[in-house]
Amino acid sequence: MLPKDPSKHAEYRRKISESSKRKVISPEARAKMNAGRTHFFSEEHRKNLSESNRGNKNALGVKRSEATKHKLREAMLRRLAAPSWYTVSSIEPKVHRLLTGVSFEAQKRIHRFVVDIFIPVLNLVLEVNGCFWHQCVQCGYTDKYGVRARDEERRKELVQMGYEVQVIWEHELK
């Protein structure tokens, strides 16, 4: 701590400097200081720490009750599931009825996409496209918003990931 009188600051600094110059540290003392920098705790203390971290703790060492673990697990599953604003279109239930007896998942998140129907056994993605919303060429819609190009990019990306992609149009179900 510097003296209150500013005129004595220089003298105080000079004294500290001289005292530190006179200090000679033995090689043994320097080795102890360097060893202490790598291991802050003794071997016994580190062993006790590792034993106390076993059991009901996460990576940060925080204990959590089973109820809290359950809530965290449910929250993670909700984040991984399809967003709540993804709704089933009016034509998808028709395809669902056609798939009776086949194990499938509706509104399945795959990478960054939410696909309409996924059949895991066949690694097959079924996209059920409405003619108006996806600008069907056969029904006379012009692609003025770039929906077709976006759908094609999505299909190509899913195929690159190893999925087979089939598109079912609304007019095919009528």
pTM of this structure: 0.53
Cα–Cα distance, 45 to 42 (Å, whole number): 5
Q: Which domains does the chain have, with CATH numbers?
A: 8-52 (no CATH), 92-173 (3.40.960.10)
Q: What is the pLDDT of residue 59?
A: 55
Mean pLDDT by 10 residues, the chain (174 residues): 66 70 70 64 70 58 80 80 70 91 91 91 95 92 91 95 96 89
Handedness of CA 98, 100, 105, 106 (dihedral sign): positive
Q: Which of 87, 90, 107, 101 is nearest to 174 (CA)?
A: 90
